[in-house]
């Protein structure tokens, strides 16, 4: 078996490193990963998830209590409030860092002392599937590796990607407006390092196979600490070549295959997720042939769903859903509406017209949101993402502004997300109904801070216990909906899905369990007006008993109709 694994590795490595002795490199990687002839062979097309899987996304220190380590408070919050609600937790970078709220990592093998320690991480991993970030594209300019780069010593001397100001970099795809190259004084003169995201986040040089070997060692360390889900951060930019766009290059895809191969031979139930905030067609390529990412983020969902609910028109959302290919067994989508980042606009390329994007931007700004920009190859600045808390993003409509339907609109968004093909993921601030944190933006000077606030646990518990608080209403109802979802075989991430055609104000789709014994018709009024649904248009099977899983309403007359209040959703199922 090890020879087979070795051969597979060599074949992939040959694509990435044509001038390297890949036979030797493959053996080194296997040794670093601790793999030998007894390494378990993963089953092909194995689904490492089911309908009960729901993920929480949070920073280690989002929930705090004075004089206590945040990771211990997070575990307490999970156990007290979410033990029966979520199965997986994504703790955003919990390592020592120098900027970007953790994504400028100084030491991949340490836990930020202010958050806790590895024992705290392992405690959470012992009760929940734990996802951690592999911040693989770049590293802090204050890291030991980069200090060694400047001193021209190992490890680090050749670990970072360099270019020259005279190089043709006009085709490079940028997610930011900051300079791509930054001058650094080293012990043998001035050098220019490549910085995709910021001057403090220096891109790593995977053309050096030692960098790959370092990350294989980091991955093994994480696996041994109980981490089983790996989020490959900003992985689309991993491989750079002067004169190219330096995004989505073939070497990047091969490196993902290599990492997956090693990870799943070490831990067959481990999962690789790629974070590629790019247009939808490009995002889908990271499935490969079911041999790259197990899971990809459904990046087009957040902007399209928000646009649908603030315009009261589901045309674009429906068109997109019909175009989405069913994920092969062993792969699926990660559905989310909000995250620690803003709502990306690049994933709407080819889906929303420019004037529609601008209308959406204007609406978010009227609800207190901000807009971040990126620089295009021709030197122009274009809107890159909208920075806004989801609860405030849905406080009204584009046409009429803020209204009294905010809570209903917000719940409708999540009811849609919960029912779609894929695994649902809730950003903690959405689960809690947190609003825009304008004060934090002012304090940090960073627009993304608007949705990265922190809660004192005592205050949070008081809000969640107050039945008049919108935080209580959001949290209570979302937990109820999640509990319903987790019991339905038709909501398995890989269960069949077909889009329904019910007009522009009703967004609907049909899910069927893989054993075909359960069907759920998911219908959502995405407008601020009452809508009628003809049951004849849905084509419910007459010999089955149908009821709405959300309200408990039993459908007696299949030739009749349903009345949906503004933003009301129904999950019509033929089994309870």
Does the annotation list 138 as a binding residue? yes
Which residue, 197, 210, 199, 194, is CA-closest to 161?
Answer: 194
Q: Which entry of 120, 233, 437, 528 is annotated as an active-site residue? A: 233
Which residue, 126, 118, 242, 224, is CA-closest to 180?
Answer: 242
Listing DSSP states for 465-487 in one string gives H-TTSHHHHHHHHHHHHHHHHTT
Antiparallel, parallel or unpaired: β 181-186 and 189-194: antiparallel
Separation CA 51–CA 287 (nearest Å): 21
How many C-beta atoms lie closer than 10 Å to residue 21's C-beta?
A: 12
Residue linked to tokens 């949906």:
564
Classify each residue of 524-559 as buried b or exposed e, where b means 16 or more C-beta atoms within 10 Å of its C-beta: bbbbbeebebebeebebeeeeebbbbbeeeebeeee
3-state secondary structure (DSSP) of residue 547: strand
Does the annotation list 233 as a binding residue? yes
Does the annotation list 341 as a binding residue? yes
Does the annotation list 232 as a binding residue? yes
How many C-beta atoms lie closer than 10 Å to residue 499's C-beta?
A: 17
Contact partners, residue 9, CB within 8 Å, separation at least 6: 22, 26, 29, 30, 258, 261, 262
Classify each residue of 370-386 as buried b or exposed e, where b means 16 or more C-beta atoms within 10 Å of its C-beta: bbbbbbeeeeeeebbbb
Give the end-to-end CA distance of the chain in Å, rounded to a whole number.
46
The two three-digit tokens of residue 233, written as one number: 């951060």
Classify each residue of 333-348 as buried b or exposed e, where b means 16 or more C-beta atoms within 10 Å of its C-beta: bbbbbbbbbbbbbbbb
The two three-digit tokens of residue 326, written as one number: 């069913």
Under DSSP, the state recorded for 79 is: I
Separation CA 491–CA 232 (nearest Å): 26
The two three-digit tokens of residue 489, written as one number: 């075989």
Separation CA 9–CA 93 (nearest Å): 29
Does the annotation list 191 as a binding residue? no
Question: How far, in Å, are 204, 270, 320, 420 from residue 265 at the CA level?
Answer: 25, 9, 35, 30
Is-catalytic flag, 403? Answer: no
The two three-digit tokens of residue 361, written as one number: 């931007």
Separation CA 113–CA 48 (nearest Å): 32
3-state secondary structure (DSSP) of residue 183: strand
Whole-angstrom Cα Rg for the chain: 24
Just list the catalytic residues.
233
Residue ranges of the binding site for substrate: 100, 138, 231-233, 340-341, 448
């Amino acid at each position: 078996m090890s020879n087979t694994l070795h051969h597979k590795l060599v074949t992939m490595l040959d694509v990435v490193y044509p001038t390297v002795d890949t036979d030797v490199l493959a053996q080194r990687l296997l040794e670093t990963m601790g793999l030998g002839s007894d390494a378990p062979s993963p089953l092909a097309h194995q689904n490492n998830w089911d309908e009960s899987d729901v993920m929480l996304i949070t920073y280690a220190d989002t929930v705090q209590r004075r004089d206590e380590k945040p990771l211990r408070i997070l575990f307490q919050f999970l156990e007290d409030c979410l033990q029966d609600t979520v199965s997986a937790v994504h703790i955003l970078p919990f390592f020592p860092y120098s900027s970007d709220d953790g994504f400028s990592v100084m030491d991949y093998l340490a836990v930020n002392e202010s958050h806790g320690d590895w024992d705290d991480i392992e405690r959470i991993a012992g009760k929940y599937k734990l996802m951690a970030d592999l911040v693989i594209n770049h590293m802090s300019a204050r890291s030991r590796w980069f200090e060694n780069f400047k001193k021209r010593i190992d490890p680090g001397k050749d670990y970072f990607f360099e270019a020259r100001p005279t190089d043709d970099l006009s085709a490079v795809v940028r997610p930011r407006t900051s300079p791509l190259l930054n001058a650094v004084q080293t012990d043998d003169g001035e050098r220019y390092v490549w910085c995709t995201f910021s001057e403090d986040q220096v891109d790593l040089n995977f053309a050096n196979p030692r960098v790959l070997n370092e990350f294989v060692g980091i991955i093994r360390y994480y696996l041994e600490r109980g981490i089983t889900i790996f989020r490959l951060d900003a992985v689309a930019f991993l491989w750079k070549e002067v004169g190219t766009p330096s995004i989505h290059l073939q070497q990047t895809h091969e490196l993902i295959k290599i990492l997956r191969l090693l990870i799943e031979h070490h831990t067959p139930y481990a999962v690789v997720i790629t974070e590629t905030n790019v247009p939808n067609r490009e995002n889908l390529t990271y499935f490969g042939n079911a041999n790259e990412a197990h899971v990809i983020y459904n990046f087009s969902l957040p902007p399209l769903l928000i646009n649908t609910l603030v315009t009261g028109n589901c045309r674009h959302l429906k068109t997109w859903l019909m175009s989405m290919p069913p994920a092969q067994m062993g792969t699926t989508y990660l559905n989310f509406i909000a995250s620690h980042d803003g709502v990306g606009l690049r994933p709407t390329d080819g889906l929303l017209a420019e004037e529609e994007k601008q209308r959406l931007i204007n609406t978010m700004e009227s609800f207190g949101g901000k807009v971040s920009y990126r620089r295009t190859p021709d030197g122009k600045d274009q809107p890159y993402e909208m920075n806004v808390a989801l609860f405030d993003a849905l406080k009204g409509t584009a046409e009429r502004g803020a209204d009294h339907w905010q809570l209903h609109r917000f719940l409708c968004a999540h009811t849609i997300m919960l029912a779609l093909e894929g695994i649902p993921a809730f950003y903690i601030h959405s689960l809690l109904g947190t609003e825009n944190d304008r004060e934090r933006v002012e304090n940090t000077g960073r627009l993304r801070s608007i949705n990265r606030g922190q809660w004192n646990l005592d205050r949070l518990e008081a809000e969640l216990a107050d039945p008049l608080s919108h935080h209580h209403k959001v949290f209570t109802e979302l937990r109820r909906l999640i509990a319903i979802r987790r019991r339905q075989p038709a909501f398995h991430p890989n269960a069949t899905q077909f889009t329904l055609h019910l007009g522009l104000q009703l967004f609907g789709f049909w899910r069927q369990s893989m054993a075909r014994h359960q069907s759920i018709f998911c219908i959502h009024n995405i407008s601020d007006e009452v809508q009628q649904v003809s049951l004849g248009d849905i084509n419910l099977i007459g010999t089955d008993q149908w009821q709405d899983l959300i309200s408990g309403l039993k459908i007696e007359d299949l030739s009749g109709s349903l009345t949906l209040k503004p933003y009301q959703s129904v999950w019509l199922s033929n089994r309870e």
